[in-house]
Structure 1
Amino acid sequence: MSLHEDAVLTLKAYDGPADQSELRQLYLDHLAAQPEGVWKSCPTGHITASALVIDPSTERVLLTLHRKLGMWLQMGGHCEPQDSTLADAALREAWEESGVAGLRLLGSGAPVRLDRHPIPAPCHWHLDVQYAALAPVGSVAEISDESLDLRWFPYAEVPRVADTSVVRLLEATLAVL
């Protein structure tokens, strides 16, 4: 199965809140119209995958201070040819950006939220499929070249440091815990 096919199946199975149904359909329409819709090279926008990393005690989240955007965000990014599923892409991105090995997706391994956000040309949109991942006990986070900083935040601090997209992702993640 191709990554494109996995993305379609993942999104068809996504059982998010009612307010996400229109967005889910937008993602599916994008993939139906764009055979290359999972790749960064797609000019109208592309699917991305991310994961909010939760500490083993389930009391904190690991956020990265994104080098280009200067914002505290969950780990995530573009799909790569070696990714066989969106879940694989989310876990790979989370590992690359956090250095935390052995991450495990929460719940059934399904996405917890969708988020569409504009990006500068030449592309126009990131259609982010968001997961939540649990860090193993004893894991150590290491900053990557893509980050200015990497830090664990108690849940209550997230609204103070991150934008509403990250706050909504945290809320959706807490519903899965």
Structure 2
Amino acid sequence: MDTTGAAPHRPDLARLLDGYRPQGPLETADHERARRLLDAEDPWSRGTFPLHFTASALIVHPPTRRVLLRWHVRQQAWLQIGGHGDPGETRPLDIALREGREETGLADLTPWPDAALVHLVDVPVPASAVEPAHVHADLRFLLATGTPELARPENPASPLEWLTVEEAERRTTEDNLRETLARAARLLPPARLLPPA
């Protein structure tokens, strides 16, 4: 597909979507809606209802096969880090990296095992006092840290927790995050056996 013709004003986002291969009918439908969203004046704007882009990431510590979840007050759920692009931001991975640093304090976050999109999912968001109910077209990545002990929540209402993939699958209430976790688990190296004490 010609990304320059599809969205000349946002080629990075168009290239990302063009190169992504959705898995299954549900993600294929989400992907088709995301492609149509490229025609919006600002597909990242909170004012683009009922659907706009967000970028998020599951933070992993590959040596221990652990993942970092964050309590999201509005969603009332343990989720990955991420959120909206700031004004002028157009690169999904850069948004996920910024959000990751802000929400966890981890300065060494890097795309892992590469910069590929690992999951695209439409996530319903309930109405609040300032926004109607809407949907996030969430673009998900994996980010790794080598310093998991340095993770710090950005505020007391948003604690962080390192969990095994299996613990995270039980902790979250969101099936779409369970799918992201399953995709991460397939990429993570086997657990290292500790030497006998």
Length-normalised TM-score, structure 1: 0.88
Q: Which runs of 5+ in 1 are unaligned?
A: none
Q: How does 1:120-135 map to 2 (within 5 A)?
A: 120=127, 121-122=131-132, 124-135=134-145
Q: How does 1:55-74 map to 2 (within 5 A)?
A: 55-74=61-80
User: Structure 1: how far apart are the matches of 2:104 and 2:147?
Assistant: 15
User: Structure 2: how far apart are the matches of 1:146 and 1:125?
Assistant: 27
Tell me the amino acid that sits aligned with residue 21 of structure 2.
Answer: D
1:172 matches 2:183: yes
Secondary structure of the structure 1 residue equivalent to 2:161 = strand
Partner of 1:41: 47
**Contact 2:10 2:90 (8 Å CA) reproduced:** no
**Contact 1:40 1:79 (8 Å CA) reproduced:** no
Shift of the 43–84 alpha-carbon distance from structure 1 to 2, 3 Å rule, reads: closer
Q: Cα distance, 1:6 vs. partner?
A: 1.7
User: Structure 2: how far apart are the matches of 1:3 and 1:58?
Assistant: 41
User: Structure 1: how far apart are the matches of 2:11 and 2:48?
Assistant: 16
Shift of the 131–58 alpha-carbon distance from structure 1 to 2, 3 Å rule, reads: farther
Secondary structure of the structure 2 residue equivalent to 1:47 = strand
User: Structure 2: how far apart are the matches of 1:15 and 1:176?
Assistant: 17
Q: How does 1:68-147 map to 2 (within 5 A)?
A: 68-81=74-87, 83-119=89-125, 120=127, 121-122=131-132, 124-137=134-147, 140-145=150-155, 147=157
User: Structure 2: how far apart are the matches of 1:2 and 1:106?
Assistant: 28
Q: Which runs of 5+ in 2 are unaligned?
A: 1-6, 189-197
**Contact 2:58 2:80 (8 Å CA) reproduced:** yes
User: Structure 1: how far apart are the matches of 2:75 and 2:113?
Assistant: 30
User: Structure 2: how far apart are the matches of 1:50 and 1:2?
Assistant: 24
User: Structure 1: how far apart are the matches of 2:160 and 2:90?
Assistant: 27
Q: Cα distance, 1:45 vs. partner?
A: 1.8
1:15 matches 2:12: no
User: Structure 1: how far apart are the matches of 2:85 and 2:102?
Assistant: 13
Tell me the amino acid that sits aligned with residue 109 of structure 1.
Answer: A
User: Structure 1: how far apart are the matches of 2:179 and 2:62?
Assistant: 21
**Contact 2:165 2:185 (8 Å CA) reproduced:** no
Compare 107-116 and 137-146 and name the one that shifted more: 137-146
Q: Cα distance, 1:84 vs. partner?
A: 4.4
One of 164, 182, 187 as aligned partner of 1:154 = 164
Length-normalised TM-score, structure 2: 0.80
Tell me the amino acid that sits aligned with residue 136 of structure 1.
Answer: G
Tell me the amino acid that sits aligned with residue 77 of structure 1.
Answer: G
Secondary structure of the structure 2 residue equivalent to 1:148 = coil
